[in-house]
Amino acid sequence: MLTKICNEVNSCPDWKSGNLKCGRDETAIPKTVEVRDTQKILLITRDPSNQANKLDDVTSFENSFFREKILPILFADYKAEKAKEDRKHFENFREKFLSLFYWTHYQKCFPGKKEGAHKQPRIECAKRYLKREIEAFEPEIIICMGGKAVGYVTSKAAGYVNGEKLPRTISKNGNNHVTYSGKKIPLIALTHPSDANNGAKNNPSYRYEETIKLIQEEVGSFKTDEGRGLLRNKRKKNLSRESD
């Protein structure tokens, strides 16, 4: 089912017809990531960057956001500076990423540039695909980066309070979940890691470094076993229990 949804994204009618009302840039191409049976963690970010939009694969070495932002947040032993000099180091962690994570975006297409930043994505793409992706994937845990992604995922979850501010959602990290199709799924929320968001990242209420440590701890509890797929270690925390 998830592969079918990815195929729908890749042949999105708005993209095929040239419609820009969905919020995509006229140069944008829908971006999806390889689906594997071993994937257990759902990563949701805001939208592909302008750089990623020009690449065939958003997990390629040339995508600096993936190489220098995503991988260092997820893996405690990944070194971004080393990856620049040692391609094998990057490729090893890229493979770990693809084995563990299904990565999708709130908006699947690059939204375009404005002075000093990217345009904000629109909700149309998320309405069409994101809830269906979550339900089809049935992740063991969701990691959301950025207010748009976090707000949508929580707003569509059964029983969740709509309109919750991002710092409030972040404050529940480690003891938070969302419910989709009757399944409680642990959720970790992170403010967007881009340099353009340094104000929030440096604001203590967003708990940026604390959240990264929690993410790395959770990701570290999943282990890749070569030749036999993915093995899940005993969790260090019960992330799915009700919030106190």
> Could you tell me if residue 233 is inside a domain?
no
Classify residue 103: in a domain, yes or no: no
Which ranges in the chain belong to alpha helices (H)? 2-10, 13-17, 50-53, 64-65, 71-74, 80-85, 87-100, 124-137, 147-155, 166-171, 198-201, 208-220
Q: Is residue 101 part of a domain?
A: no
pLDDT in tens, 43-96: 999 999 889 999 989 999 999 999 999 999 999 999 999 999 999 999 999 999
Which pLDDT tens digit goes with each residue over 8-47? 999 999 998 998 989 999 999 999 999 999 999 999 999 9
pLDDT tens-digit readout, 147-157: 999 999 999 99
Is 146 domain-assigned? Answer: yes
The per-residue pLDDT for 244 is 36
Averaged pLDDT of the chain: 89
Q: Quote the domain boundaries for residue 190.
A: 2-7+34-52+124-223
Is residue 226 pLDDT above 60, yes or no?
no
Whether 161 is in a domain gets the answer yes
- Eight-state DSSP code of residue 37: T
pTM of the model: 0.89
The answer, yes or no, to whether residue 229 has pLDDT greater than 60, is no
Determine the pLDDT at residue 224. Answer: 56
Q: State how many domains the chain has.
A: 1
| Six token digits for residue 167 | 């710092």
CB-based burial of residue 37 (10 Å sphere; 0-12 exposed, 13-18 middle, 19+ buried)?
Answer: exposed
- Domain annotation covers residue 242: no
Is the Cβ–Cβ distance between 164 and 154 less than 8 Å?
Answer: yes
Q: How would you class 216 by CB atoms within 10 Å of its CB: exposed for 0-12, middle for 13-18, buried for 19 or more? A: middle
Asked if residue 164 is part of any domain, the answer here is yes
Smallest CA-to-CA distance from 108 within 238, 225, 13 is with 13
pLDDT in the model for residue 116? 72
Q: State whether the Cα torsion 229-68-174-136 is positive or negative.
A: negative
pLDDT in tens, 113-138: 887 778 899 999 999 999 999 999 99
- At residue 173 the predicted structure's pLDDT band, cuts being 50, 70 and 90, is very high
For the chain, what percent of residues have pLDDT higher than 70? 91
Give the Å distances, CA to CA, from 86 to 8, 92, 133, 139, 216.
36, 10, 34, 32, 22
Domain assignment present for residue 232? The answer is: no
Instruction: Quote the tokens at residue 152.
Output: 């949508």
10 Å CB burial of residue 101 (0-12, 13-18, 19+) is: buried
